[in-house]
């Protein structure tokens, strides 16, 4: 109780404050009550006594009331203090234990409080931060922006974010990045700031963006097509290379379906591949696709399945390459491989034929010549002529065989020259038949051909002659002594049909089917054991088909065979093309002693050329090497040069180029045994005006000499 009275009279206590509050009220109430009580107002003295009495009596009551109220208020105040202390403790616990850095700022920018997390994060102790302006804790580059935001916040603007990134300075001077949460508390008139350090996260984000950018560029610039298609085969992603491969504008492949670029059958195969990928299978396959412009191309696809978080198949990642050019190269390599095998077969067959079919006749002819030379005087003129005739026929037979081999080899290498021209077909057949009469007579075979009206054909005369020689030669080979061979030519619309029929051994159906197939037929011995190459009919088929014609055989065993082929024909001169008709005789058969330089290292070829030039009144000189030819040309005047191609020291092409450096007008005619396109091309590129092939045909050589020497005469007359 004494404590109560001490607190009652002590200032700034609950009790004293209650006393000061109640005392005026009690006094006023007693005064009013005394004034209103008329029976007690007898005199001013009695009024005062009554007032004092009532006041004295009211004091205990007032004290009791104050005591009771003070106790009640004290209990409530204690609870409030306890709640306040608890709240303050809770706030301080949260403030200090928060992992985010927290600082409380006054409106004048000074820091009033910071937590431990702030000190740890920045490295500043509290005493270096509290009471200081927050602006010294951030870089100068950030101060203007954050100051403006702070002003707007104090003005309670709604146009500022409550969270944003900023930079702050650690005590060691390192500038780091944080994300700040700020609000202005009007009640305490302070700004509360909470932030965390996101420097590492920002660096990771930057690295991730850079990595994404690198991968994006890598995907965009790579030459491989990269696409993702959903389970319905519709593109949901495609890089620019994929757009380019598919032939669509950049960025437009996404949204398109695969079936727009493939056939229905291919699309079904793609769907089957997709079904297997649902089981997690990766697959690599080739497929044809159709670009937007309609071009068909080939691609190599490597497809990998992708699954969602539930393990469900959701799309296919495809990497694809346009392999059209590669496939072409592969096909070309396969073709070249097949051609190489065929060429090897050709080589082997040529060597075999040269070893067996050419060596024998040439060796026999050489032996017969040796006997003739050594015992020339021992033979009569009749015996000598007979031996020479045998040698001539052997040489012609060997030459025909060699020509067949060379032509066949040229065809296999793709270098055959096809030169159609207008010529007298009737004359060509008649000449060829006459050339075979001696061979037919040697077996007592009747060879028949009755030329009718002259027929002119636009074809390669050399090829047609080769076909006729092979077919007539085969007929003689497989016809018995005393047999008959008949050659016919029949008009068939715009073509001429030629047939060679015999009554020889004939053949069965199986043999007939293999006649024109390379490597399927073997040469059979003739009726008198004549040997062939097995290549003649293959060569005939190649030549006739080159003209757009057709060749076939009709035969029965023991009843002979007929070989029939057709070629283009022209009925009369009115149907000919402009120009000189091949085969016509030259205008001049004699020359005016023009001087010809013969460049030839082989004596036998030189002698042949000498005899031809002498017969038409031409003079000549000889050079054996290319270097000698150039030297003779520089020191003499010639009207024409016959240039052999294969020469010692300096070949004919090189010699021609040397001569052309000094004279571009003199006619140079190449004399070569090579008739392939590359050789002829090199001959003309070297500077030759024309060429003739060995063995030399006199009529053709004279005609060529006339053509070039006549130009010289005209030029000299001018």
pLDDT tens-digit profile of 46-81?
A: 666 766 766 676 677 666 776 666 666 666 666 666
The two tokens of residue 636 are: 């003499």
Phi, psi of 628, rounded to the nearest 5 degrees: -65, -35
Range with the poorest average pLDDT among 191-205, 405-419, 542-556, 602-616: 405-419
Please report the pLDDT score of residue 205 as a whole number: 84
**Residues 85-100: what's their mean pLDDT?**
72
For residues 614, 615, 617, 623, the Cα torsion angle rounded to the nearest 10 degrees is -30
Residues 649 and 627: beta-carbon distance below 8 Å: yes
Count the Cβ atoms, other than its own, within 10 Å of residue 577. 10
pLDDT tens, residue by residue, 244-290? 889 999 889 999 999 999 999 999 888 888 888 888 888 888 889 99
Range with the poorest average pLDDT among 183-187, 232-236, 323-327: 183-187
With residue 225 as reference, give the H or E element that holds it: strand 225-230
Task: Specify the CATH number of the domain 98-203.
Answer: 3.30.450.20
* Alpha-carbon span 686 to 660, nearest angstrom: 9
Side-chain half-sphere of 360: how many Cα atoms within 13 Å?
9
Computed over every residue of the chain, the mean pLDDT equals: 80
Range with the poorest average pLDDT among 33-37, 162-166, 340-344, 566-570: 33-37
* Alpha-carbon span 253 to 607, nearest angstrom: 78
Please report the pLDDT score of residue 552 as a whole number: 93
Q: How far is CA 603 from the centre of its chain?
A: 57
Side-chain half-sphere of 388: how many Cα atoms within 13 Å?
9
Please report the pLDDT score of residue 602 as a whole number: 86
Residues 427 and 463: beta-carbon distance below 8 Å: no
**Residues 146-155: what's their mean pLDDT?**
84
pLDDT tens, residue by residue, 451-469? 877 888 888 888 898 899 8
* Alpha-carbon span 21 to 13, nearest angstrom: 12
Q: Is the pLDDT of residue 44 over 90?
A: no
Q: How far is CA 64 from the centre of its chain?
A: 110
Q: Can you tell me which residue has the tokens 């000190």?
A: 119
Task: Assign 616 to helix, strand or coil.
Answer: coil
Please report the pLDDT score of residue 535 as a whole number: 67
Record: fold of 417-575? Heat Shock Protein 90 (3.30.565)
Residues 66 and 7: beta-carbon distance below 8 Å: no
Q: Which of 402, 394, 388, 389 is nearest to 363 (CA)?
A: 394
Domain ranges of the chain: 2-92, 98-203, 222-322, 417-575, 595-717
pLDDT tens, residue by residue, 299-319? 999 999 999 888 889 999 888
Asked if the domains at 98-203 and 222-322 fall in one CATH topology, the answer is yes
- Provide the strand spans (E) within 592-674: 595-599, 619-623, 640-644, 668-672
Top-confidence range, 4-13, 258-267, 600-609: 258-267
Q: What one-character-per-residue DSSP string does 240-276 give?
A: HHHHHHHT--TT--TT-BGGGSS-HHHHHHHHHHHHH
* Alpha-carbon span 718 to 708, nearest angstrom: 16
Q: Is the pLDDT of residue 630 over 90?
A: yes
Q: Is the pLDDT of residue 141 over 90?
A: no
Q: Hey, what CATH class is 222-322 in?
A: alpha beta
* Alpha-carbon span 66 to 143, nearest angstrom: 59
Q: Which of 471, 555, 470 is nearest to 512 (CA)?
A: 555
Residues 634 and 662: beta-carbon distance below 8 Å: yes
Q: Can you tell me which residue has the tokens 């290549």?
A: 535
Higher pLDDT residue, 587 or 30? 30
**Residues 687-702: what's their mean pLDDT?**
85
Task: Assign 699 to helix, strand or coil.
Answer: helix
Task: Assign 702 to helix, strand or coil.
Answer: helix
Please report the pLDDT score of residue 6 as a whole number: 63
Higher pLDDT residue, 523 or 552? 552
Q: What one-character-per-residue DSSP string does 571-612 give?
A: -SGGGSPSSPPTTPPPS-S-----EEEEE---HHHHHHHHHH
Beta bridge partners of 184: 191
Beta bridge partners of 691: 670
Please report the pLDDT score of residue 77 as a whole number: 64
Q: Is the pLDDT of residue 195 over 60?
A: yes
* Alpha-carbon span 34 to 448, nearest angstrom: 182
Q: Exposure pattern of 191-221 as b/e (b: 16+ CB <10 Å)?
A: bbbbbebeeeeeeeeeeeeeeeeeeeeebee
Percentage of residues of the chain with pLDDT beyond 90: 20
Burial class (CB within 10 angstroms; exposed 0-12, middle 13-18, buried 19+) of 662 = exposed
CATH superfamily of 595-717: Response regulator (3.40.50.2300)
Please report the pLDDT score of residue 641 as a whole number: 95
Count the Cβ atoms, other than its own, within 10 Å of residue 568. 15
pLDDT tens, residue by residue, 399-455? 766 776 676 666 666 666 778 888 888 888 998 888 888 788 888 999 999 887 788
């Amino acid at each position: 109780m004494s404590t109560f009275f001490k607190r009652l009279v002590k200032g700034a206590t609950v009790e004293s404050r209650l006393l000061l509050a109640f005392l005026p009220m009690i006094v006023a109430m007693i005064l009013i009550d005394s004034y209103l009580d008329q029976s007690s107002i007898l005199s001013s003295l009695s009024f005062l006594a009554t007032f004092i009495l009532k006041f004295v009596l009211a004091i205990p009551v007032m004290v009791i009331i104050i005591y009771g109220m003070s106790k009640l208020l004290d209990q409530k105040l204690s609870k409030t203090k306890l709640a306040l202390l608890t709240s303050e403790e809770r706030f301080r616990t949260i403030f200090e234990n928060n992992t985010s850095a927290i600082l409380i700022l006054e409106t004048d920018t000074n820091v009033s409080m910071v937590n431990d997390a702030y000190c740890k994060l920045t490295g500043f102790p509290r005493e270096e931060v509290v009471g200081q302006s927050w602006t010294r804790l951030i870089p100068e580059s950030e101060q203007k922006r954050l100051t403006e935001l702070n002003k707007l916040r104090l003005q309670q603007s709604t146009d500022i974010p409550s969270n944003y990134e900023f930079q702050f300075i650690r005590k060691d001077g390192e500038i780091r990045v944080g994300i700040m949460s700020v609000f202005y508390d009007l009640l305490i008139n302070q700004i509360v700031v909470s932030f965390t350090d996101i420097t590492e996260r920002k660096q990771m984000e930057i690295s991730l963006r850079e990595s994404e950018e690198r991968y994006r560029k890598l995907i965009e610039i790579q030459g491989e097509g990269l696409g993702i298609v959903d389970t319905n085969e519709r593109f949901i992603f495609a890089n620019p290379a994929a757009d380019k491969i598919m032939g669509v504008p950049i960025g437009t492949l996404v949204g398109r379906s695969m079936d727009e670029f493939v056939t229905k059958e291919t699309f079904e195969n793609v769907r089957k591949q997709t079904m297997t990928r649902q089981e997690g299978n990766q697959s690599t396959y080739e497929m044809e696709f159709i670009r937007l412009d309609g071009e068909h191309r080939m691609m190599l696809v490597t497809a990998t399945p992708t699954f969602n978080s539930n393990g469900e198949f959701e799309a296919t990642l495809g990497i694809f390459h346009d392999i059209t050019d590669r496939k072409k190269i592969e096909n070309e390599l396969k073709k070249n491989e097949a051609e190489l095998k065929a060429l090897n077969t050709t080589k082997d067959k040529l060597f075999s034929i040269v070893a067996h079919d050419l060596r024998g006749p040439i060796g026999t002819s050489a032996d017969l010549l040796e006997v003739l030379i050594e015992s020339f005087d021992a033979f009569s003129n009749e015996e000598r002529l007979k031996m020479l005739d045998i040698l001539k026929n052997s040489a012609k037979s060997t030459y025909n065989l060699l020509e067949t081999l060379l032509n066949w080899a040229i065809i296999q290498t793709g270098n055959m020259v096809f030169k159609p021209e207008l010529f007298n077909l009737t004359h060509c057949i008649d000449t060829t038949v006459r050339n075979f009469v001696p061979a037919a007579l040697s077996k007592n075979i009747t060879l028949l051909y009755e030329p009718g009206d002259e027929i002119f054909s636009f074809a390669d005369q050399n090829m047609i002659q080769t076909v006729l020689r092979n077919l007539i030669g085969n007929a003689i080979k497989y016809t018995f002594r005393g047999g008959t061979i008949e050659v016919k030519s029949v008009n068939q619309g715009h073509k001429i049909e030629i047939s060679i029929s015999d009554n020889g051994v004939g053949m069965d159906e199986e043999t007939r089917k293999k006649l024109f197939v390379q490597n399927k037929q073997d040469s059979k011995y003739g009726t008198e054991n004549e040997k062939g190459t097995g290549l003649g009919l293959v060569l005939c088929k190649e030549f006739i088909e080159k003209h757009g014609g057709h060749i076939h055989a009709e035969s029965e065993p023991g009843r002979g065979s007929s070989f029939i082929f057709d070629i283009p024909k022209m009925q009369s001169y009115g149907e000919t093309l402009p120009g000189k008709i091949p085969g016509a005789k030259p205008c001049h058969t004699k020359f005016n002693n023009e001087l010809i330089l013969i460049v030839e290292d082989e004596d036998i070829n030189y002698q042949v050329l000498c005899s031809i030039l002498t017969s038409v009144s031409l003079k000549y000189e000889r050079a054996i090497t290319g270097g000698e030819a150039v030297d003779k040309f520089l020191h003499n005047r010639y009207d024409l040069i016959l240039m052999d191609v294969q020469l010692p020291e300096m070949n004919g092409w090189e010699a021609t180029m040397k001569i052309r450096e000094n004279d571009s007008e003199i006619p140079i005619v190449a004399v070569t045994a090579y008739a392939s396109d590359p050789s002829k091309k090199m001959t003309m590129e070297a500077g030759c005006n024309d060429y003739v092939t060995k063995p030399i045909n006199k009529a053709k050589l004279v005609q060529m000499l006339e053509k070039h020497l006549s130009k010289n005469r005209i030029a000299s007359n001018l």
